[in-house]
Amino acid sequence: MTSKLKLSFSNDAPKGDCITICLISEDSVIIPTLDKDVAAQVIAKMASAQFTGKKGTSLSLYLDEGTYLLVGVGETVKAGIHAETVGGKLFTALAATPQKRGWLPPHKFADEVAGDIIFGVELAAYHFEQYFTETDSVEASVQLVVSNEFITEDDRVLADRQALAKGVALARDLIFEPANKLYPEAFADRCASLSSLGLEVEVLDEADMEALGMGALLGVGQGSRRESRMVVMNWRGGKDEAPLALVGKGVTFDTGGISLKPAKGMEDMKWDMGGAAAVTGAMAAIAGRKVKRNVVGVIGLVENMPDGNAQRPGDVVTAMSGKTIEVINTDAEGRLVLADALHYSETRFEPAMMVNLATLTGAIIVSLGKEYGGLFSNSDELAAQLTQAGMATEEKLWRMPMGKAYDKMLKSHIADMKNIGGPYGGSITAACFLERFVSKTPWAHLDIAGKAWSDKASATVPKGGTGFGVRLLNRLVDNWTPAHITTNDN
């Protein structure tokens, strides 16, 4: 994890060249606890500069007592996305100052709000610079000292948010990594290191998967000299209840195989493991937060390459479930990986529900752009809970249709099914394909092809790897309500 932030906590303001940060709202004029004379000067300077505390604005003031950085928060700060965005804007404003060193004095915020502000600061501070060797390419770190009256270092809310921030950062790190550094075995090693958080981590190699009959997953990776892996991360935070299962597609590089992709933009296919990254980051956060539920994360890790041993269009493979698949297009490989991962997760763990995440189809970007992830589900109740979690975390989902008419498009003349359904409704037929490997478990498929990587930064999300799904999954697990969960008959 790379962060431009050096965060510390103290009862006293630091000495020297340090900026005092004031979060200013439109309705109450001034929020921080300041000396009366200083507050009067700040208000006077605000008036002369016509600074109103509008959300996203900032202003530097130079007083005899020191430098003050005002950050507008709009209306009174609310817990959640609003407070996180304030934290992101705070970091950006401080990073733009020559000093890059700030003091956050006491403000009259509840712990939930204060914790979310610091969470937003930490999300905004993420920066991947692992492979820079020239010092002028490495951005200077930002120092932020937080008053223990703003929020104490051992506060429960703060600890929770910091564990969540680490999970997001882990997912972003994995997505940013180049494929020559992060291949299936290396990815599995990263997961194994999470045992230090209390996760039970199990790695299945190709021999293990072959013994289980995972012909769909293994077929994708057979053209690569990098061996495939499956990783199981188990968090036993609950009692004896069935676990919640999170399943991720982890294609560490996707050339398309024999159905080779165009050269332009192929370098982006290092992040075709965004679903696996989200599940890994989510499991790290769940363990770090010590969530009182049983949760299992399963990720299938492969590299899709076009060598002489690669899977061919027209091949037929047998999945772990025993179903046969005619491979029409080797670039529709993620669903083959998930077919075995879903069946394995369901039959081994008998979960209360399953959610899989995958950068599965370009068709979902055509449908939804880059504003929403696609949501497909056999359960209205699970879909509703996921939608609510997405709205609360600004990781928004839009439910898409499924049904028999789409499922029929997968009919093969020589096997149980084809791996693609034709030129129309590509993201929908992909979801229908996955549903064939789920029995009666409440299940949802999240197609995050438009959300795992961003072409532009926002207040708390960098340009590049977003870590989309980590916060969403944690919110879902926190608020999971199992009562009356049913599956639909399509």
Catalytic residue positions, numbered: 261, 335
Residue 475 has which token pair? Answer: 């919110």
Q: Are 386 and 446 in contact (CB under 8 A)?
A: yes
Q: Please choose, from the candidates 318, 209, 313, 314, the residue with its C-alpha nearest in 3D space to the C-alpha of residue 256.
A: 313
